[in-house]
């Protein structure tokens, strides 16, 4: 496989040097070039033909958002990774970039970190995303062999919707959550792989665009119909019984699949509490988080919908569920909200109400 050609766009000489040195040690990556501004980047793209581009957010002249907008007009399929600061402003702009078509993001090392730690941070966070996005873009991929998709088990009243997603997830969630109706009759729990602050801002953005109430998860909050909870960054989120009601719980137990929050953790808990009354959705994301949790949901009799490969930024997570043979429907992103509403409405129209404490 040829090395992935990367164009680094940042107005800081120090950051450009850091990125170049951090990536130089990998034989899988080749530096196509650097650019100190958005305008220079737009001029260099047709000359250098990069496979992936990293883009600073705050630059003089064309800022990151403006540059991204132009890139998407001219090169709609070119993977773009935003390089953002871990600040409220940086997180807010990064989320805007993701909704405008950025493929993913990496947070800049803090100023307090040593050069060695900063380079390790970049290698760990950035390298895997560059390679994965380049592979996803490649038109020549071996045809995967999947276990057969099983039929929807059906026959159970859906009492909770659980969603797991990662790379490309913020944009996917904006395509799904705002399209759920105001009278959506079950609670929604979500894991989106993001650090602290980002998850709160994501919840606020979704809340402003949705009929449903969307909030970052809080320990002890009861699960109510029409309420959407997003796991906070750096915390696993689970559901638990408290007497006759179910509520959220948070913990900082070790990461799973290198993630905290992890989809597997959430999915296991909803399978344990709600049994066959779970509808799970796995959308675009790198890696395989959610696949083992989906197996628990399938074993408990729940239903599982996954996003299709064509509409996914990265088909790692949904593809892993399909490969495991536990998905009962594969949908393009624009159809997922319709599939959710159809399943929930149909299940509740034909099956009498059963309290959550009796679901399993």
From residue 195, alpha-carbon distances to 65, 112, 262 in Å are 21, 18, 12
Give CA–CA dist 115/342, Å, rounded. 53
Task: Single out the catalytic residue among 193, 210, 308, 337.
Answer: 193
User: How far apart are alpha carbons 197 and 232 in whole angstroms?
Assistant: 8
The answer to whether residue 183 is catalytic is no
CA distance 136 to 209: 30
Burial of 294 (0-12, 13-18, 19+ CB in 10 A): buried
| Residue 193 annotated among the catalytic residues of the structure | yes
The whole-angstrom separation of Cα 155 and Cα 338 is 19
Q: Which of 289, 296, 337, 347 is catalytic?
A: 289
Rounded Cα distance between 347 and 327, Å, is: 18
Query: What is the maximum alpha-carbon separation in the chain?
Result: 65
Query: Quick one: tokens of 54?
Result: 């990293």
Question: Which structure tokens are listed for 152?
Answer: 């929807």
The C-alpha atoms of residue 359 and residue 57 are separated, in whole angstroms, by 47
Is 289 among the residues known to form the active site?
A: yes
Q: Is residue 57 a contact partner of residue 82, using CB atoms and an 8 Å limit?
A: yes
3-state secondary structure 36-79: CCHHHHHHHHHHHCCCEEEEECCCCCCCHHHHHHHHHHHCCCCC
Q: Which of 166, 288, 311, 337 is catalytic?
A: 166
Pairing label, strands 236-242, 245-251: antiparallel
Alpha helices (H) along the chain: 13-24, 38-48, 64-74, 88-99, 115-137, 169-176, 198-209, 263-274, 291-299, 316-323, 333-350
Of residues 245, 248, 178, 188, the one with CA closest to residue 218: 248
Torsion of CA 257, 258, 261, 266, to 10 degrees: 10
Annotated catalytic residues are: 166, 193, 289
């Amino acid at each position: 496989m040829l090395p992935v050609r990367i164009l680094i766009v940042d107005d800081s000489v120090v950051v450009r040097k850091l990125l170049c040195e951090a990536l130089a040690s990998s034989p899988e990556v080749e530096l196509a070039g650097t650019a100190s501004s958005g305008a220079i980047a737009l001029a260099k793209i047709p000359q250098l033909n990069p496979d992936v581009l990293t883009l600073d957010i705050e630059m003089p002249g064309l800022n990151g958002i403006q540059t991204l907008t132009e890139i998407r007009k001219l090169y709609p399929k070119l993977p773009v990774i935003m390089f953002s600061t871990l600040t409220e402003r940086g997180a807010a702009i990064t989320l805007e970039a993701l909704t405008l078509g950025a493929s993913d993001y990496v947070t800049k090392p803090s100023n307090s970190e040593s050069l060695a730690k900063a380079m390790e941070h970049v290698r760990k966070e950035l390298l895997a995303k560059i390679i994965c996005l380049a592979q996803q873009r490649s038109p020549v991929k071996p045809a995967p062999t999947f276990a057969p998709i099983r039929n929807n088990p059906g026959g159970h009243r859906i009492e909770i919707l659980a969603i797991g997603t990662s790379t490309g997830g913020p944009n996917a969630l904006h395509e799904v959550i705002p399209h759920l109706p105001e009278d959506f009759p079950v609670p929604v729990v979500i894991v989106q792989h993001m650090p602290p602050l980002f998850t709160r801002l994501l919840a606020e953005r979704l809340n402003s665009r949705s009929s449903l109430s969307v909030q970052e998860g809080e320990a002890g909050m009861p699960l109510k119909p029409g309420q959407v909870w997003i796991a906070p960054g750096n915390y696993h989120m689970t559901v638990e019984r408290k007497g006759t009601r179910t509520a959220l719980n948070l913990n900082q137990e070790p990461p799973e699949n290198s993630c905290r929050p992890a989809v597997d953790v959430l999915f296991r808990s909803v399978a344990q509490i709600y049994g066959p009354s779970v509808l799970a959705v796995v959308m675009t994301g790198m890696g395989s988080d959610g696949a083992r949790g989906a197996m628990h949901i399938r074993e408990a009799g729940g239903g599982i919908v996954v996003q299709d490969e064509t509409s996914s930024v990265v088909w790692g997570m949904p593809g892993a569920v399909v490969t495991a043979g536990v998905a009962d429907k594969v949908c393009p992103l624009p159809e997922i909200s319709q599939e959710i509403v159809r399943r929930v409405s149909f299940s509740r129209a034909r099956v009498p109400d059963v309290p959550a404490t009796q679901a399993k």
